[in-house]
Structure 1
Amino acid sequence: MKAYSTIWFLLTTISVGLAQPAGVVAIEDPQFDAQFTQRTIPKVTGKLLHVSPQEITGTTITYTLVTLAGQKTKTAHLAADGSFQLELDYPLPYQQIWVHFGELFYTGLYANKQLHVELDVPKLKAAGKELAFKADGVRYLGEDGALNEYMNEYMLFRRADQLALSARVQQIRPSQHPVETEVLAAFTPIFDSLKTIQAEFVATHPSPYGWLLENERLSEFYNQICVYYWRHTMEPALFRQIKEHKTYLLSNSNMAFQLYLSAYFRQLPANRVTVSWQDVARLSDLTEPEKAALDSLRSTETLSPVPAHRDQWTKQLGPRMRRLRQDRMIAKGIRWLDSLYSPARADILKLQLNTSKDIAEQKAALEQILPSISTGWCKVMAKNEYARTIDQIASVNKALATSGNSLTATGFGSPLQQTDFGATLYKLSDMSGVDFLAKLKQSFVGKAIVLDRWATWCAPCLQEMPHSKKLQQDAKDLPVVFVYVCTAQGSDESKWKRKIAELELPGIHFFIDEALDAKLAQLFAFSGYPSYALIDQKGVYKSGAITWLLAIKGKDDLAALLK
């Protein structure tokens, strides 16, 4: 009992810290609905100083918004005088934005009301090294200037110690049977050490924003607890502690808290959803190929040994089974959240039920979630996200509707290079996502297209490449072409060429600028690298057909996807 009391004391005392200022409410509070309608979307502007015309045209700003609907990547271009503006979607408080100013500077911004960022280019270049968060030549100005100075200063404060503590957290391995005292004994000392660093920073950097650091730290602490308990039921006292935690920032840590808490419910054994081909058989809107697959499965249900093609017939029903499983999981999640939380908190967590990376599946999820939402500001967000999915699907379909007779990629100009191992290389810039898809379809009439979005620095992308190469070799007689689009973000043309040569990866390769990369991410609802899309021989985007390339084991699997 003594050990339990000691650990519980540590858990409860970590929440003691600087309180938020009067009048500031959490997004879970009922009062926030009124604040949302009165707030304006934060304005984020900036300027690159002492920058040449060549540098202006050669610099693309890529930024990622942290939102309740997941991370969203956008691009901004410099005006002739070096100025820029970042576009935010909602009037939410303390929104975190991760920004790449080309290869010049990287930082995390916080937008609450109004922020202006100035970068002195010659000073940053003179530093001669990779710069992030704070540097000589970077100024955060405007109403949110002090906030950003403070938060980015803390990012660098005792940086090595903070990173070491994060590494210790990652080294903790989940238990098959988690027990509250053991879980807290593992995590609390690490987060207490982080609190000590935080307290030292607050003492030496007086600011009205210290309470935000505490909110961030607690969110990260509870993130880890939720993940540790996935597939297990949390003890009631611990769950109550987590349940009472509130969100004041739209940051990685706070949005992960919402996501992981929602995922905790989905992972509970009582909430698991399984779907079989028998469930699909009860649906009323089956296609003829689906009916044929079901007839084959029924006719072989009692046979022994199991026919070799039985798995293939089941795989043919895979997309429908995945959609049905998603529908059931969301329906169950909505009921569960409504039974546990106040309407505002439940509605926030419902938005986290929309986890698919596929735009068609996102649309279907929102069609279920929207009618259950009663909180005004959450409904506004859900409606806007739903409209976004409709626009994205329409844009993809429009791009693919144009047909042509060309069997080569002539629409993209002359290739940079053609190799003896079957790779054709192109470099693209200043092209819209819709035009890219239209030209792609025109170039490969009658062939399906496997679109692979990757980056030279992405380890999971590179791990997939050998399998992708083998898949191409096995599928030479199938009507399919493999198209690889590599982002220029964090890379350059020479690195891209070298990596292709190292891998000896055949196929059609495009090195695309950050703007086109972001547009394709929006069109297909890509999230991170690698991401995949399949366009069939008729030019139709096959929603959710490829989630992970390694799942396509060989020629037969790929042929089944093309049917």
Structure 2
Amino acid sequence: MKASITIWVILITVVTSFAQPVGVVAIEDPQFDAQFSQRAIPQVTGKLLHVNPQEIKETTITYTLVTLLGQKTKIAPLSADGSFQLELDYPLPYQQIWVHFGELFYTGLYANKQLYVELDVPKLKAAGKELAFKADGVRYLGEDGPLNEYMNAYILFKRADQLVLSSSIQQIRRPQHPVASEVLAAYTPILDSLKRIQAEFVATHPSPYAWLLENERLSEFYSQVCLHYRGHLMEPALFDQIKAHKTYLRSNSSMLFYLYLGYYFRHLTANRARVSWQDVARLSDLTEPEKAAIDSLRSTETLSPAPAHRAQWTKQLGPRMGKMYQNRRIAQGIRWLDSLYSPAMAEIMKLQLNDSKDIDEQKAALEQILPSMTTSWCKLIAKKEYARTIDQIASVNRALAASGRSPTVADFGSPLQQTDFGATLYKLSSMSGADFLAKLKQSFVGKAILLDRWATWCAPCLQEMPHSKKLQQDAKDLPVVFVYVCTAQGSDQERWKRKIAELKLPGLHFFIDETLDTEVGQLFSFSGYPGYAFINQKGVYKPGSITWLSAIKGRDDLAALLE
């Protein structure tokens, strides 16, 4: 009884300052179904002021939408007069958008109804430094203007202190057997410090939007608690409190709340999906090699020690086991969510089950998820996302099917550099993703293409590079070419060259502009960096072949992907 009281005392200190605003409906509420059908997609437009044609040509507006299915990056074209429009997908309230206005300015936007952003280019250039969130020369106007002024002012308020506290949260030790009172006690001092900063800001910046700051903080707090409990059962009182939380913004904080809540339930021992070769053995459409592998496994399962080839036979069944695991994981997730949450909250989390980077796996996941949905607005989003996966698969196939003369790599122009360690470097701009893909296929007839999308500032990308280099060396006799596409966003040509030289990474390297990078990401449904795609010798894209390069252990693994 005492433990339960302790939990609730701490919970009360966490949440008492928050109250749902009158008349505002959260997406978790049943009433939101009716609101969704009546809402218009928020409009985000703007203009670069006092900008010349050359500056328009050199400026690329890249923006990332925070959605219920993760982040989605797009490019906004600039008109001749400097005006632009950001394209949002759904009529959801308070949508967060991260925007790069070339090298001029970076900010987070919040779209609820209508926002107009003005950037005075000469003023921003005169500042001569990296500008973000608020600056002289940037105005947030329209109905959502005050919301954006307020939220971006808070991001910069005592920013150094906020960043230190956020870092402190990440460093909290995760015990082997978490106890609610101890977990909450560890977070409370940091949370109290954030609350004091927030209270000081609210006191000095009166606004009708103050409640959104509180909601964001709670989303961040609860997401960390869920991550803390991953793999361990949460106390009922704590879990009930987290289940009652509602998210009013479509932001990084709310996305992580649902993502980590999903991690929590999927990592509970009772909810872990498991697949073995025995499950595959029950399938009726096995190929002859699969049957042979199963016969070998069955005949040796009682032997001790196990024959050395058992691992290889099991690996042969890997693709089948992977698909079965994906289907089983999603089926279990649907049942579990429906048993625990209200329909809307369950179905928001079902969308999170569709978390693969692979287009075909996304399509298969949505085919399982859609029949279980009853909340109209969630079902509509799932249907549109399903249609998007179909279109993406068709786009890739169309690009690969493009015919014409058989070009050579020279069709990409003269290389910037050819190194003594086997790297050929090109810079590309003003090329569409479909044209780039078609040229690659036509340049390497009879060869497979392993495409690696990366960035010079992406730590996971760089961690994979030594393995990629070794894989190239091991596979010199195989008909496969390694193609590396590096985004210009957040980097420059010299840094890209230095990184390749530092790694001594052979292969075909392209430094691509932000537009081409975004289109490549959209074609293959890459949700970030790194992203990997595999096209076999027949020019057929093989979705799901590569998740991480380090998962390809050597030449034999790579050879198995070839046709």
TM-score normalised per structure 1: 0.97
Confirm or deny: 8 A CA contact 2:552 2:558 kept in the other structure: yes
Task: Tell me which residue corresponds to 1:228.
Answer: 228
Are 1:485 and 2:462 an aligned pair?
A: no
Between stretches 101-110 and 400-409, larger displacement belongs to: 400-409
Confirm or deny: 8 A CA contact 1:316 1:560 kept in the other structure: no
Partner secondary structure for residue 353 of structure 2: coil
Unaligned runs of at least 5 residues, structure 1 = none
Partner secondary structure for residue 163 of structure 1: helix
Q: Per-residue deviation at 1:22? A: 2.0
User: Aligned letter for 2:272?
Assistant: R
Q: Distance in 1 between matches of 2:289 and 2:398?
A: 26
Task: Tell me which residue corresponds to 2:389.
Answer: 389
Between stretches 15-24 and 289-298, larger displacement belongs to: 289-298
Q: Per-residue deviation at 1:3? A: 7.9
Q: Per-residue deviation at 1:312? A: 2.8
Q: Distance in 1 between matches of 2:289 and 2:399?
A: 27
Q: Per-residue deviation at 1:248? A: 0.7
User: Aligned letter for 1:199?
Assistant: A
Q: Deviations over 1:41-68 (max 9, x none)?
A: 0000011111121110011111100001
Confirm or deny: 8 A CA contact 1:484 1:507 kept in the other structure: yes
Q: Distance in 2 between matches of 1:396 and 1:309?
A: 37
Confirm or deny: 8 A CA contact 1:59 1:77 kept in the other structure: no
Task: Tell me which residue corresponds to 1:141.
Answer: 141
Task: Tell me which residue corresponds to 2:400.
Answer: 400
Are 1:80 and 2:97 an aligned pair?
A: no
**How many residue pairs get matched?**
563
Are 1:200 and 2:200 an aligned pair?
A: yes
Task: Tell me which residue corresponds to 1:173.
Answer: 173
Q: How do residues 329-478 of structure 1 correspond to structure 2 at under 5 angstroms?
A: 329-402=329-402, 406=406, 408-478=408-478
Task: Tell me which residue corresponds to 2:128.
Answer: 128
Confirm or deny: 8 A CA contact 1:404 1:445 kept in the other structure: no
Q: Per-residue deviation at 1:102? A: 0.9
Partner secondary structure for residue 47 of structure 2: strand
Q: Per-residue deviation at 1:410? A: 3.3
Q: Deviations over 1:429-452 (max 9, x none)?
A: 222222211111111111111110
Q: Per-residue deviation at 1:531? A: 1.2
Task: Tell me which residue corresponds to 2:531.
Answer: 531
Q: Per-residue deviation at 1:487? A: 0.5
Q: Per-residue deviation at 1:556? A: 1.9
Partner secondary structure for residue 445 of structure 2: coil
Q: Deviations over 1:262-320 (max 9, x none)?
A: 22111111001111122112222334443444344345444555444432332232222
Partner secondary structure for residue 445 of structure 1: coil
Q: Per-residue deviation at 1:158? A: 0.6
Between stretches 401-410 and 80-89, larger displacement belongs to: 401-410
Alpha carbons of 1:344 and 1:449: their partners in 2 closer, same or farther (altered >3 Å)? Answer: same
User: Aligned letter for 2:241?
Assistant: Q
Partner secondary structure for residue 352 of structure 1: helix
Alpha carbons of 1:262 and 1:399: their partners in 2 closer, same or farther (altered >3 Å)? Answer: same
Alpha carbons of 1:433 and 1:297: their partners in 2 closer, same or farther (altered >3 Å)? Answer: farther
Q: CA RMSD in A?
A: 1.7
Q: Per-residue deviation at 1:164? A: 0.7
Q: How do residues 233-252 of structure 1 correspond to structure 2 at under 5 angstroms?
A: 233-252=233-252
Task: Tell me which residue corresponds to 1:495.
Answer: 495
Q: Per-residue deviation at 1:180? A: 0.8
Task: Tell me which residue corresponds to 2:509.
Answer: 509
Q: Distance in 1 between matches of 2:4 and 2:125?
A: 54
Q: Distance in 2 between matches of 1:473 and 1:407?
A: 26
Q: Per-residue deviation at 1:561? A: 2.6
Task: Tell me which residue corresponds to 2:522.
Answer: 522
Identity %: 81
Alpha carbons of 1:18 and 1:207: their partners in 2 closer, same or farther (altered >3 Å)? Answer: farther
Task: Tell me which residue corresponds to 2:552.
Answer: 552
Q: How do residues 263-282 of structure 1 correspond to structure 2 at under 5 angstroms?
A: 263-282=263-282
Confirm or deny: 8 A CA contact 1:327 1:365 kept in the other structure: yes
Partner secondary structure for residue 64 of structure 1: strand
Q: Deviations over 1:319-341 (max 9, x none)?
A: 22111111111111111111111
Task: Tell me which residue corresponds to 1:297.
Answer: 297
Q: Distance in 2 between matches of 1:55 and 1:123?
A: 14
Q: Deviations over 1:167-218 (max 9, x none)?
A: 1101112111011111011112111111111111001000000000000000
Task: Tell me which residue corresponds to 1:313.
Answer: 313
Confirm or deny: 8 A CA contact 2:6 2:181 kept in the other structure: no
User: Aligned letter for 1:322?
Assistant: G
Q: Per-residue deviation at 1:230? A: 0.7
Q: Deviations over 1:66-87 (max 9, x none)?
A: 0011110001121111110000
Confirm or deny: 8 A CA contact 1:403 1:445 kept in the other structure: no
Task: Tell me which residue corresponds to 1:36.
Answer: 36
Q: Deviations over 1:8-62 (max 9, x none)?
A: 3232122123534321100000000000000000000011111121110011111
User: Aligned letter for 1:488?
Assistant: A
